[in-house]
Structure 1
């Protein structure tokens, strides 16, 4: 049970230092929103939305638009609902506590999925097919997924708990999008600074801050060990090996 408690203490939805649960800067996010180009009145869906920060910004960029956030984590949904209310988006941004693969909505102008390809059978291939099916003809897709920046070492695989075949090269990701019937409008990747800031703020930072604030807690040693393992896995393993690509696509 303590392992579950440690994961909960280090989880992303409760981490106020994270704007979004992905390596992404403000400038990069703004460029993605511009490339997606949501029109006034657009219907937008984010599959695996987390607390919906990117979804809300897309909706704010297009007057009269609406957004559906599809997310299974109740804590992320609760955070998203609170943020939407604080920003006057209640009614325009709705959260659905449901799995991405089973969500029945369609006909969207824009479908988004960042780091959630595992939610569909078939992983990346299944995700791209589902996202294409979720948008109207001529609609757009914003898809974020992992790729290998270079051949992964044993230390990188161990740090991620991954297998070599879990990801492929960046060009392979582009080709998968094309095979799914999508045309690539823009490709950008998270840079090293975005990755470093994300890793520092996410599990590592969240756990470290909690441990510093609770020196006598029964879980202190376990949280510290989890932080140290994550730090070793990143700096001694997958840093510079695992990439995250953001593809803006047209159906």
Structure 2
């Protein structure tokens, strides 16, 4: 395996034991989102772009008789999700599918979840919202997590993020309006706070790269891991911190 591919695999989110979920989210915030979604007992939920499906597993675990589908294109994330389901005795109720979220055609769910996965749809945010609305039955709910600009990004913010300004729908108000335009009733809007962001960034590539390097001082990729961690840390702290936000919308149909 080429060094670049090996390092990418080592630092990839599904292989990162520091991450509970691949988003800026605390335990308290997660519990409040699960409560707000109110998956009914015996209900059905789908998580499109689920990663390893931590929220999906908790939702199904909290609603007796419920079942869930998790869809993600990353085989490593799917394997992690399957392992977690087995460990929690949920492998008979939660099924993970390797594939693209935009190719999933099953409908009639009580709840659909998509957190930070709009890139799976070619039209990004607005296309994702339309697809999610078609996935749930009347009276259902959608939990949608997406990025927005807290304020107009600087060139340093865009460079640190590796993005262009038009890649995201706009402000938080623009994001909620896009959900309403897609036919949803916006029921609840919360955002990741600064502590959630700092912990997420510290536990993702920046912090995980440094920790892995400390644990593997003689590994040939030690220096590359530290350099990658430093680049991500600088991109966040010297770039998009305070400019880039993440919102969680609970939407009714």
TM bracket (short chain): over 0.9
The runs of 5 or more residues in structure 1 that have no matched partner are none
Q: Given the alignment, which residue of 203, 206, 224 partners 2:205?
A: 203
* Alpha-carbon distance in structure 2 between the residues aligned to 1:208 and 1:70: 31
Partner of 1:79: 80
Deviation readout 1:53-110 (Å, 9 max, x if unpaired): 0001111121100010001111111111111011110110000001000012111000
Deviation digits for residues 155-197 of structure 1 (CA, Å, limit 9, x no counterpart): 1000011111112100000011011111100000000000000
User: Which residue of the other structure, out of 189, 193, 196, is the alignment partner of 2:195?
Assistant: 193
Instruction: Tell me the residue number matched to 1:121.
Output: 122
What TM-score comes out, normalization by structure 2 length? 0.98
Query: Which residue matches 2:159?
Result: 158
Q: Post-superposition shift, 1:42?
A: 0.6
SS at match of 1:109: strand
State the alpha-carbon separation in 2 of the partners of residues 151 and 52 from structure 1.
32
Match of 1:218 in 2: 220
Which residue of the partner structure matches residue 251 of structure 2? 249
1:9 aligns with 2:18: no
Query: Displacement of 1:16 after TM fit?
Result: 1.2
State the shift of 1:218 in Å: 1.6
Question: What is the match of residue 105 of structure 1?
Answer: 106
**Distance (whole Å) between structure 1 residues aligned to residue 81 and residue 165 of structure 2:** 34
Shift of 1:225: 0.9
Unaligned runs of 5+ in 2: none
The number of equivalent residue pairs is 251
Name the structure 2 match of 1:179.
181
Q: Normalising by structure 1, what TM-score? A: 0.98
Q: Distance in 2 between matches of 1:166 and 1:3?
A: 26
Q: Deviations over 1:105-132 (max 9, x none)?
A: 1110000000000100100011000000
Look up the SS of the partner of 1:13 in the other structure.
helix
1:215, CA displacement in angstroms? 1.5
